[in-house]
C-alpha cells in the first residue's frame, strides 16, 4: 500500500527538528515505534536550553531514577516493557510526552529508515542541513564540556550543578550571537512530501 508522508523541517538552530505525520500511525503498530529502543541523552546544548526555558522539566529529569549522569550529560534510561523497552517519556496514549523542540538531538532529528528521506534527491538540501547541524552540535557540546571540565565542574557532584549551569548560560549566550551560516541560510520551516509503500510490524525498518 503506497501512502503520502509529510515531513516538516523546522530550522530552530540548536533546537531544530523534523516533524513526520506518519508517526501518529506508525507502521510498527506496537504503540511505541522507534521509542521502544532508545534512551535519550541530554547534552549541554539541551540542558542549558531547558535550564533557561523549561526549568520544571529539567528538575523533573534530575528527579528521575535510573539516570546515568556523567560529567556533562544525563541519560534517561529506558525501562523493560514486554518483549522490548520503552522510553520514560513515552506514553501509550499519545506517543512522546515532550514537545519536539524540548527533546534531545537524536529525538529531534531521527526519522526511521523505512521512510528513508535522506535518499531522496529533492531533499538533499535538508540532509546537508541536518548533517551539518549534527556535526555542529557535537563540536559545540565537546567544546563546552571541555571548558567546564577545565573549571573542575561536573554534573556528577550535585553541589556543583548551580555552577555548571551558570557557566553554561554564558557559553550559550555567546553562541546565540554567533550562529554558523548554514543555519542562517535555510528557511525557518519547510514542508515536503514523499510517497512510500508501507509494510507493518517488524517488517517496517527502524
Please give the Cα distance from 23 to 182 (Å, whole number). 28
For residue 147, the minimal CB distance to ligand SF4 (Å) is 27
Binding segment (CB under 6 A) for ligand SF4, from list 65-73, 82-90, 165-173, 178-186: 82-90
Please give the Cα distance from 61 to 119 (Å, whole number). 35
Residue 93: which region, alpha, beta or left (left: phi > 0; alpha: psi -120 to 50)?
alpha
For residue 8, the minimal CB distance to ligand SF4 (Å) is 13
Q: Beta strand 95-96 with 90-91: parallel, antiparallel or unpaired?
A: antiparallel
DSSP 54: -
Residue placing its CB nearer to ligand SF4 in the complex, 107 or 148: 107
- What residues from 40 to 59 belong to the interface with ligand SF4 (CB under 6 A)? 40
33 contacts ligand SF4 (rule: CB under 6 A): yes
For residue 192, the minimal CB distance to ligand SF4 (Å) is 16
98 contacts ligand SF4 (rule: CB under 6 A): yes
**CA angle (118, 122, 123) in 5-degree steps:** 40
For residue 63, the minimal CB distance to ligand SF4 (Å) is 16
Q: Beta strand 74-76 with 67-69: parallel, antiparallel or unpaired?
A: antiparallel
| Interface ranges with ligand SF4 (CB under 6 A) | 20, 22-23, 26, 28, 33-35, 38, 40, 87, 89-90, 96, 98, 103, 107, 111-112, 114-115, 206
Amino acid at each position: 500500500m503506497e501512502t503520502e508522508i509529510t515531513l516538516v523541517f523546522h530550522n530552530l538552530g540548536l533546537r531544530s527538528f523534523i516533524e513526520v505525520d506518519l508517526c501518529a500511525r506508525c507502521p510498527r503498530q506496537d504503540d511505541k515505534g522507534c521509542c521502544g529502543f532508545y534512551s535519550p541523552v541530554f547534552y549541554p546544548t539541551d540542558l542549558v536550553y531547558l535550564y533557561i526555558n523549561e526549568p520544571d522539566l529539567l528538575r523533573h529529569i534530575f528527579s528521575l531514577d535510573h539516570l546515568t549522569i556523567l560529567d556533562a550529560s544525563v541519560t534517561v534510561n529506558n525501562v523493560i516493557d514486554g518483549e522490548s523497552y520503552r522510553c520514560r517519556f513515552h506514553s501509550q496514549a499519545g506517543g512522546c510526552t515532550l514537545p519536539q523542540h524540548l527533546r534531545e538531538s537524536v529525538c529531534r532529528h531521527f526519522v526511521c529508515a523505512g521512510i528513508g528521506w535522506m535518499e531522496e534527491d529533492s531533499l538533499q538540501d535538508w540532509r546537508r542541513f541536518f548533517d551539518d547541524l549534527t556535526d555542529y552540535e557535537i563540536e559545540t557540546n565537546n567544546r563546552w564540556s571541555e571548558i567546564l571540565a577545565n573549571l573542575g565542574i561536573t554534573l556528577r557532584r550535585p553541589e556543583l550543578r548551580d555552577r555548571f549551569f551558570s557557566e553554561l548560560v554564558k557559553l550559550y549566550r555567546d553562541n546565540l550571537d554567533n550562529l554558523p551560516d548554514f543555519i542562517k541560510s535555510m528557511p525557518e520551516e519547510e514542508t515536503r512530501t514523499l510517497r512510500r509503500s508501507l509494510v507493518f510490524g517488524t517488517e517496517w525498518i527502524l
